[in-house]
Amino acid sequence: MAQQGKTVAVTGASGYVGTKLLERLEQEASLRKLVAFDINSLPLPVHNIAFYRKDVSEPIEDELNDQAVTTLVHLAFNARRGANRREITEIHNENLKTLRSVVASCVIARVTHLIYVSSHTVYGAHSDNPIPIADDAPMRASPDFPYAHDKHQSEILLEEFARAQEDVKVTVLRSCPVLGHSGDSLETQDFFRPWLFGVMNYNPPLQFVYDNDLARVMSIIIQREIPGTFNVAGNGVVHYREMANIIKSKEINLPPFMAYPLVRLFWGLRLQRDLTSTGLDQVRWPILMSTSKLHKATGYRFWHTALDALTAFANSSYLYKEDISP
């Protein structure tokens, strides 16, 4: 049985997932204390939380030692889309530098459990993807999709760390998009738009996870110290065209022989940076994950379906918030 009285630290704590996780962990009486790191202030009332307004690309072992942290959840990640190759490289280097710094601080401070939230996109959108994709499937993220590529490289770094530091348990959660009534993040802003490109004759199934479900399953993993790599997704799927209808987005459907050259032309002329050839692959080839390993390890059954999560977000004020008058 895992020991009681853990002190849990969360990096990127002011973000969407970080906030939901802290809200959940504050309800867990078995936890001794919570520690939060972020360059921004926390958007929720601070109760039993020691907050450090700090960039975790710099060492944090002193803070971890001072608070006797036993578990660290690493959520700090720059998901911003670079406007050019130089910016993309800078963001990539920043993400890996931050992870290396956090890992090093964990070793020095003798943190015993490190949890990292990755993404389903590490599998890549490919025509030969198995359905569903198991947790032990190879990662095939496209280098042309910087977010997925950075998550992939981060996982490789963590695999090396886990082999070298056997006294530290490492958990990687490959999550599909996280949604709910307060689903405001760079990822949702990038994914949900008033206009969506589609590819004719393709309507892939999509997975979503409700934010509170993700927070609950992370709480279980923290308290039971469950290591390993797990796919995370709510029950059921929502197909691409159904999603467009729910979020009231206009679809632009083109045949593949037109869609790909047009996107490459727009990219080359710098007319738009939001859609790439890899983005078109994602609306053709499904990344449909199996979550049986997660269910078996945690015993958790998700309260909400993918449709629940999407509908909650669609009914929130965060959908197309730039178009909403104050």
pLDDT of residue 220: 97
pLDDT of residue 282: 87
316 pLDDT more than 80: no
d(C-alpha 187, C-alpha 322), whole Å:
15
Q: List, as one string, the DSSP characters of 126-160.
A: -TT--SSBPTTSPP---TTSHHHHHHHHHHHHHHH
d(C-alpha 274, C-alpha 190), whole Å:
7
Q: 115 - beta bridge partners? A: 73, 171
219 pLDDT more than 80: yes
72-118 per-position pLDDT tens digit:
999 999 988 887 889 999 999 999 999 999 999 999 999 999 999 99
In the chain, alpha helices (H): 16-25, 61-66, 85-108, 146-164, 186-191, 211-224, 240-246, 256-268, 277-282, 292-298, 306-314
122 pLDDT more than 70: yes
d(C-alpha 35, C-alpha 66), whole Å:
11
263-280 per-position pLDDT tens digit:
777 766 555 556 677 878
Domains of the chain: 7-321 (3.40.50.720)
pLDDT of residue 314: 87
pLDDT of residue 323: 42
Please give the model's pTM, rounded to 2 decimal places. Answer: 0.91
Mean pLDDT (the chain, rounded) = 89
Q: 52 - beta bridge partners? A: 37
Residue type, 73: V
14-47 per-position pLDDT tens digit:
999 999 999 999 999 899 999 999 999 988 777 7
- Tell me the mean pLDDT in the region 236-251: 92
pLDDT of residue 195: 80
pLDDT of residue 83: 76
Are the CB atoms for 166 and 107 separated by under 8 Å? no
- Sort residue 82 into left (φ over 0), alpha (ψ -120 to 50) or beta: beta
